[in-house]
Amino acid sequence: MAALDDFREETRAWLDLNCPPDARGPGDIPAGGTKLPIDEPDTLLWRDRMAEKGWTAPTWPVEYGGGGLTNEESMVLIQEMQRINARAPLTGMGVNLIGPTLLEFGTEDQKQRHIPPIVRGEVRWCQGYSEPGSGSDLASLRTRAEDNGDHFLVNGQKIWTSGAHYADWIFALVRTDPDVPKHVGISFVLMDMNQPGITVRPIRLISGASPFCETFFVDAIARKDDLIGELNQGWTVGKRLLQHERGSMASLVGGAAGNPGPTLQDEARRYAGDTGGRIANPGLRGQVVVHNMNDHAFRLTQRRAVEEARGGGTPGPITSIFKTYGTELRQEKSSLFVAMRGSDALLWDEASESQLFEDTRTWLADRASSIYSGSNEIQRNIIAKRVLGLPD
């Protein structure tokens, strides 16, 4: 314990000295890459300082740029960041999804080439899983990868590719053997997005944003040395990555404290004396209290699961519980944001007050959170089979 106490003291002193003022409290968390510049100098400075320490990925091995912290040390780091309200220095599919997957399944060459740029925030990743007609039944995917010597030629289409228009690289499931059962014959490959064979088309949503894209592959190149795991065994790799995705939703597994955005208490105080809002309604106040209690208990449960995972890694099928309950909490929170504003929540035009407009759009966008990353119905099936051990 003495060693951990010393680490806490050193960490606290370093954070106090090195976390810039504008990296504390609500704000943007960069996801890396070359196509979406960071406008806030303190956000960039914070990311670079943390990357130099390896604390953008604190539990990853030092030889790949990580911090090499133990699980206990990484939890101390998170606690000390939360103490000063520091935002995570880096987020995205690099640190949360493909990085942990590469550490588990990648070759030494793949780790050396891909992980250090992720840690430094130099590359942004997107995920090529879903296809038109292959969403919940992902194993029915049809995007083909044909052997062409030292590389594969990839042809097909992915959809709902989050952030593809900003991504530098994509990890994708592709069919490399069409003559075997559908769960077999799938491979997991990495592709450079900056090549003529890949076209991206954003999908505009009712929320007004375009985080999702259609992605088209016409003789796109995936190098053989960017095949992750064995040929035709990508289903195993792909499923494990989804566990990392579901486990990272609280930004604990991903490496740091989450984004401390506006709370329900903040909004309740804001609308306490406003006749246009509904926070004076005792029933609504009760819902806010219950939500806050459930949210706090949920985050403590996630933290316990991360602490109990061997070596600080991602828990297994239990992450489906996090995904299911976490997305429902998220939807409930955005609904309460809207409900407590009463008639103000009807503001829609961008000329309306910006925060009200953004929260109304967020409420709409959050309707999708129980669908993406595997719908909550799918998660409940996983919980029944893999966590509770119920029969099919």
Active site residues: 245
Q: Count the alpha carbons within 13 Å of 29 in the hemisphere toward its beta carbon.
A: 23
**What DSSP string describes 339-377?**
HTTGGGGG--STTS-HHHHHHHHHHHHGGGGGTTTS-HH
Angle at 82 between CA 79 and CA 88, to 5 degrees: 105
In whole angstroms, what is the distance from residue 140 CA to residue 130 CA? 10
Q: Specify the 3-state DSSP secondary structure of 327.
A: helix
Cβ pair 3, 11 in contact under 8 A: no
- Please choose, from the candidates 242, 213, 224, the residue with its C-alpha nearest in 3D space to the C-alpha of residue 138: 242
DSSP output for 2-47: HHHHHHHHHHHHHHHHHS-GGGBSS-------SSS----HHHHHHH
